[in-house]
Structures are given as C-alpha cells and as structure tokens.
Amino acid sequence: MSKKIKLYDATKCTGCRGCQLACKQWNNLPAEQTQNRGSYQNPANLNPHTWLVMHFDEIDAGADGVKWLFRKDSCMHCTDAACVKVCPSGALSYTKYGTVALDQKKCIGCKECVAVCPFNVPQYDTKTEKVGKCDMCFSRLENNLEPACVKACPTGALQFGDEAEMKEIIKNRLAALKGKGHLYGDKFVGGTHMLYILPEQPVHYAGLPQNPMVPASLIAWKEWLKPLSLLAPGAVLAGTFLHYLTKGPKDVRKSLPETKGDA
C-alpha cells in the first residue's frame, strides 16, 4: 500500500470552512456554543470536539494594505510522530497509509501525547478522559474514500492521493506559482502526510511552528532512559548473582571474639 498525502493548497482556499463542517459531520463531533471574538476563526483553536479548525490571520502587507491568510489546522500526520512514540497503550499508531490513527477505545487519558505533539494537535477531553484528533478519516480510507474534508472542498484547495502522484502535483503547482508558493511539511519530523502550499512564508501564520520536532526530552526518555531502566537493574542483578557465587554471603560470625562460638 502506497503512502497517502493530503495537500492543503492555501493559494486556492477561500476560507469557506466547508472542510471544518465536513470533519464534524463525518466524525460525529457535536457543535458547541462559542463567542464572537471578532474573527472568522471559530472556535479559536482545536478542542476535543473540533479536530479541524480554519485559521484566519491578518498580516501587514505594506503597500498592499492587509492580507488575509487562511490555514487549515488539523493533525499533520508526521512520519516520525512524537505522539506514537510516547503513547503507552498503542491507541496512537501508524497506518499503512502513513497516517497516524487514533483508537479512542485504547486511550487511557495519560495526556502524554498532548505534551509532546509539536503541532499541539491532540486534545484532551476531561469528560471522556480521552484525547481526540484527526485520523485523516481512517474509516473512509479503509473504504477507498478520500477524507471528508477533501470531499467537501469546493475549490480544489484540498487534494488527496498517493505520495508519488501528489508530489508531482505539488511540483507542478509550485512551478506555476513562480516562487509565490511555500511548501510546508516536507522538511521536518520525517515529512508530514498533510502538506501545505502557503502563499506567504510560514512565519506569517500564527501558531504554525517554524521548526517542529520530536522533543529532545522524548528522545532522551524513550531511546536512552527506557532501555537503561531495565539494563541497569539487570546488570546489577547479574552482578549480585556473580558476587554470591564468587565471594559468597557475608559471615557475620567472623566478627565475634574467638573464644565465643555461640552466634
């Protein structure tokens, strides 16, 4: 099975939020009461019931006045996913499509993935004590359907397909944009399975990490301390066994004065 890529081409996006709605619909996520904050970005961020949220940023474009930027914020589906590395129960796992699936039945609500995700994607629900995030519509992929957000997109800003095919599309699109398109997602965490083509440099997008990575603390823990936590006591256990065989137990009676033999 070849890996899949979901492309979000912001240069074609009109910010209609059809994808956000389709995501709620397919995943059966309830609507919620929100507050008008003077922005189309609603809710303000991802939450346990919102796995996809459209971001709206306004930037100063000099002579052009103000530019309005759109960004689809949802799981990036890292190749080298910190959440999968940290998940103790196997609730988060890689799929044959290269995406990161979440089995909520297995989730124990430890919140470890919430802390390690460089994109702040997994959201902890205090009511169900489980996390929620986009799984790129795994149930749809399994039935040869594209993700719900892609299906809903009216402008072709969202596209989905095999990795090789998508890379070709991206290459052609970047060429057509003549340097005005910026690819985001291919250069870190082993490459993400959701890629962005952005009309502006990534630095202009609020909340978009410039250099996302698997936290050093996680590498220290999982690659060094974890094996050591068994190797160290194991080696010492072998050492005590060897000690018993070679030096033997300590005979405290040797400390008694010679005349007294009753221990």
Partner 1 sequence: MMMIIEKGMIKVSTTFERLLHWYLALTCLMLIFSGLGMMFHSFNFIAVPFGGLKNLKLVHNYTGLFFIPALLLTAFNWWKEAGTFDLPDDIEWLRKAGGYLWKVDRIPETGKYNPGQKVFFLTVVIVGLAMIGSGLLMLYPEGQSKELINWMYALHACGVVALLPFIVVHIYLGTVGVPGSAALVYTGYTSRAWCLSQCPKWLRKKEEDGTLEIFIGE
Kindly state the greatest CA–CA separation across the chain: 104
127 in contact with partner 1 (CB under 8 A): no
Q: Which of 36, 60, 66, 254 binds partner 1 (CB under 8 A)?
A: 254
Query: Residue 236 CB, nearest distance to partner 1 (Å)?
Result: 4
The CA distance from 185 to 135, in Å, is 17
25 in contact with partner 1 (CB under 8 A): no
Query: Residue 216 CB, nearest distance to partner 1 (Å)?
Result: 9
Binding segment for partner 1 (CB under 8 A), chosen from 7-15, 59-67, 159-167, 234-242, is 234-242
Site string for partner 1, 204-233 (x = CB under 8 A): -----------x-xx-xx---xx-xxx-xx
Q: Which of 114, 174, 177, 213 binds partner 1 (CB under 8 A)?
A: 114
CA 260 to chain centre: 72
250 in contact with partner 1 (CB under 8 A): yes
Q: Which of 16, 21, 59, 110 binds partner 1 (CB under 8 A)?
A: 110
Cβ nearer to partner 1, comparing 176 with 220: 220
CA atoms within 13 A on the CB side of 134: 29
List the one residue out of 3, 19, 1 whose CA is nearest residue 147: 19
* The length of the chain, given as a count of residues: 263
Q: Within the chain, where are the H helices?
A: 18-26, 82-86, 112-116, 138-141, 148-152, 163-176, 216-219, 226-246
Tokens of 142: 């399994």
Q: Which of 108, 164, 175, 206 binds partner 1 (CB under 8 A)?
A: 108
89 in contact with partner 1 (CB under 8 A): yes
109 in contact with partner 1 (CB under 8 A): yes
Concatenated DSSP letters for 154-177?
SSS-EEEEEHHHHHHHHHHHHHHT
Cβ nearer to partner 1, comparing 79 with 104: 104
Concatenated DSSP letters for 115-134?
HH-TT---EEETTTTEEE--
For the purposes of burial, counting CB atoms within 10 Å of the CB of 7, is it exposed (0-12), middle (13-18) or buried (19 or more)?
buried
Q: Which of 1, 63, 66, 263 binds partner 1 (CB under 8 A)?
A: 263
Binding segment for partner 1 (CB under 8 A), chosen from 47-55, 103-111, 146-154, 202-210, is 103-111
SS3 241: helix
Cβ nearer to partner 1, comparing 34 with 89: 89
Q: Strand 130-132 vs strand 4-9: parallel, antiparallel, or unpaired?
A: unpaired
Q: Which of 72, 180, 252, 258 binds partner 1 (CB under 8 A)?
A: 252
- Contacts with partner 1 by CB under 8 A lie at 86, 88-90, 106, 108-112, 114-116, 120, 215, 217-218, 220-221, 225-226, 228-230, 232-233, 235-237, 240, 243-244, 247, 249-256, 262-263
